[in-house]
Structure 1
Amino acid sequence: MKRRHYFIALLPDAKIQEQVTRLKQYCCDRYQSQAALRSPPHVTLYPPFWWPDAGVGDLEQALEAFSHQAAPVELILDGFAAFPPRVIYIHVAPTPALKTLQADLVKAVAQPLNLPPTQRHPFTPHMTIAFRDLTKENFHHAWADFQEQSFAARCWVSHLTLLVHNGRRWQIHREFLLRNLAHDCP
């Protein structure tokens, strides 16, 4: 049975994606950390899991049903933070709406479909700019570089995104419009 690697995320608008990609490229050029460049800038709602090709329709159907009742959410990016000794990221404010969206996704999609439990830590919304291949030594240099810098941006996200790994990088498999407009958003 053929399986592929997927994850579920929120992607910011094109302007923020461009800014974050430049930061990822800077980390690649300056600190030899290129792993973050293998996915579009995103906030992970459900981390990578293996899923059979034969079940992708069920996964898409569950995400479509969930997106009908979920509302667009605002991402508020504010400064840099780290998960020592390998990860540097842009902090994303854990707003009540974002935390609720993530928790509801787990209850409405991940649990009913028995998605493999891959969440080892509590949900900490963030946008990674360097990780995995960032050496401990380069982490210290990069963190000294970023910890004093500021970064601020915000945008409304109106789609959930299902990403799939093509063997080399993560790419968008499908987007799901968040349709519950009961909440005010621009």
Structure 2
Amino acid sequence: MKHRYLIAILPPKELAIEIDNIRQLCSHRFNVFKALRPPVHITLRYIDELEESYEPKLITSLSAARNFKPFIQHLHNFSGFQKAKAIYVAATANKQIDNLYTQIINHTKPFCKNASGGRTPHITIAYRDVTPDLYLEIMEYYKKQTFQADFEVNQFSLLKHDGIRWNVLKHYHSLPGSEQLQIPL
């Protein structure tokens, strides 16, 4: 049986609740609800249609990607991808998250025939059920709003979709002393 997997940074609970409240308000104000389905997260990699028999190998492979130094992730205001009709809380790009993206991509290549994930870190608040006209209306609203937050990234998570919701399979904490272990990929 094939499943969907998500490798993501999950913000701390209090911040996730705060951003989920923003998603809820956006959903009710603009009548868009699909962004409420996944947990609040920054996508590192999405894997579509992976045979469940490969799951143990994926879990093991991701353990090798824990070689990163914890870092502070800044969130700053709102932006969007017009082509994808997605509105999001912008996460500031930085060397540390770029390194983590690279490690995740390199360690998941064998599992990723239909994988995606970008290098524009963000937390989505509206997408999929947003029409082109509605996208412009939502962006007009959110360009007047402000949002600021920082949190420490010291782990990433593997989630699996069960057909109804995303469930955390495993959290991968950064290795102690990773700053001394920077292994070239």
State the TM-score, normalized to the length of structure 1.
Answer: 0.88
Amino acid at match of 1:162: L
Equivalenced residues, count? 179
Tell me, in whole angstroms, the C-alpha distance in 2 between the residues paired with 1:124 and 1:139: 19
Cα displacement string for residues 80-138 of structure 1 (whole angstroms, at most 9, x for unaligned residues): 0011151100110111111111012212x122x24225338x51111100001112222
Q: CA deviation at 1:30?
A: 1.0
Q: Find the counterpart in structure 1 of residue 148 from structure 2.
A: 152
69-78 vs 152-161, greater mean Cα deviation: 69-78
Percent identical among aligned pairs is 25
Cα displacement string for residues 38-65 of structure 1 (whole angstroms, at most 9, x for unaligned residues): 1111111112322111111101111122
Tell me, in whole angstroms, the C-alpha distance in 1 between the residues paired with 2:175 and 2:158: 16
Q: Find the counterpart in structure 2 of residue 39 from structure 1.
A: 38
The answer to whether the 8 Å contact 1:72/1:180 transfers is no
Q: Find the counterpart in structure 2 of residue 119 from structure 1.
A: 116
Tell me, in whole angstroms, the C-alpha distance in 1 between the residues paired with 2:123 and 2:100: 17
The answer to whether the 8 Å contact 2:62/2:108 transfers is no
Q: Find the counterpart in structure 1 of residue 172 from structure 2.
A: 176
Tell me, in whole angstroms, the C-alpha distance in 2 between the residues paired with 1:64 and 1:12: 20
| 3-state SS of 2:169 partner | strand
Amino acid at match of 1:119: S
Amino acid at match of 2:108: A
Q: Find the counterpart in structure 1 of residue 80 from structure 2.
A: 82
Tell me, in whole angstroms, the C-alpha distance in 2 between the residues paired with 1:117 and 1:167: 18
Tell me, in whole angstroms, the C-alpha distance in 1 between the residues paired with 2:70 and 2:177: 7
Amino acid at match of 1:115: C
Q: Find the counterpart in structure 2 of residue 166 from structure 1.
A: 162
User: Moved runs in structure 1, 4+ residues, more than 4 A?
Assistant: none
Q: Find the counterpart in structure 1 of residue 11 from structure 2.
A: 12
Structure 1 unaligned regions, length at least 5: none
Tell me, in whole angstroms, the C-alpha distance in 2 between the residues paired with 1:119 and 1:4: 15
Tell me, in whole angstroms, the C-alpha distance in 2 between the residues paired with 1:63 and 1:71: 16
Cα displacement string for residues 69-89 of structure 1 (whole angstroms, at most 9, x for unaligned residues): 222232110110011151100
Q: Find the counterpart in structure 1 of residue 183 from structure 2.
A: none
The answer to whether the 8 Å contact 2:88/2:126 transfers is yes
